[in-house]
Amino acid sequence: MEIKIRKQVLEKNLTEADKNRSYFKKHNLFVLNMMSSPGSGKTETLCRTLKSLMPDIRVGVIVGDICTFNDADRLSVTGAKVTQINTDQFGGDCHLAAPLIDTAAQKLGCEDLDLLIVENIGNLVCPAEFDIGENARVVVLSVTEGEDKPLKYPLMFQVSDAAILNKVDLLPYLDFDAPLAVENMKKVHPGMPVFELSAKTGEGFDPWLEWLRQQVKQKTG
């Protein structure tokens, strides 16, 4: 006997993501989901971003890692409100799912924020699959990785609204072909803005900040 079901397997996560969306909307908040492989420089990029945006834009950060509070410690120095999620207690998950974001956002308190940034767990595969109720997604690739990463992890680059190519200060010392990396990103996601920058030196940072400010402004008025 056949029983029809027709359900999305991740439906539960989608329902939770919708709840998050309503909560964020209620607080007039722009939410950015930042994703990348481990070591691409998400935290360093965020530290510089927070220093530039605050205090004009009130920013909070939810940072996810399997273990350690290291990233929260680094980000707290900027003065932003930060909360750390460790997923080891949930079986070492490789991504942040919507229910975890709900708990973390309540803990952080979003009433006095304009922008909430979620620094996802370093992984180019799983986080792309899980909606957390965000308004936009940004993927960070660094020049110490490979130019072909967008072609190897197409879903991540396809679901992102913008991309950062980080650590461009290292280009003189590497064989990395930056134009090819950007071309590969645009093959997977035509029209996606790509910001080539160095979180360490600040080179190329302004267009990225301008893009983010615009996104927040459009959302929060």
Closest contact distance (angstroms) between CB of 124 and other proteins is: 9
Q: Report the length, in residues, of the chain.
A: 221
End-to-end CA distance of the chain: 55
Segment 91-120, which members bind other proteins (CB under 8 A)?
Answer: 93-95, 97
- Is the Cβ of residue 91 or residue 221 nearer to other proteins in the bound state? 91
- Is the Cβ of residue 57 or residue 188 nearer to other proteins in the bound state? 188
- Name the one residue in this structure whose structure tokens are 């997923």: 87
Q: Does 6 bind other proteins (CB under 8 A)?
A: yes
- Is the Cβ of residue 81 or residue 186 nearer to other proteins in the bound state? 186
The angle formed by the CA atoms of residues 207, 38 and 134, to the nearest 5 degrees, is 55
Q: Does 179 bind other proteins (CB under 8 A)?
A: no
- Is the Cβ of residue 42 or residue 95 nearer to other proteins in the bound state? 95
139 closest CA partner among 155, 15, 88 = 155
Query: What CA–CA distance (Å, rounded) separates 206 from 104?
Result: 30
Among 101, 117, 189, 197, binds other proteins (CB under 8 A): 189
Closest contact distance (angstroms) between CB of 33 and other proteins is: 16
Among 53, 151, 174, 207, binds other proteins (CB under 8 A): 151
Query: What CA–CA distance (Å, rounded) separates 72 from 171?
Result: 29
127 closest CA partner among 33, 43, 212 = 33
Closest contact distance (angstroms) between CB of 126 and other proteins is: 5
- Is the Cβ of residue 9 or residue 221 nearer to other proteins in the bound state? 9
Q: Does 78 bind other proteins (CB under 8 A)?
A: no
β-pairing, 59-65 with 162-166? unpaired
108 burial via Cβ count (<10 Å: 0-12, 13-18, 19+): middle
Q: Where on the chain is the footprint of other proteins (CB under 8 A)?
A: 1-12, 93-95, 97, 123, 125-126, 128-129, 150-151, 154-155, 158, 186-191
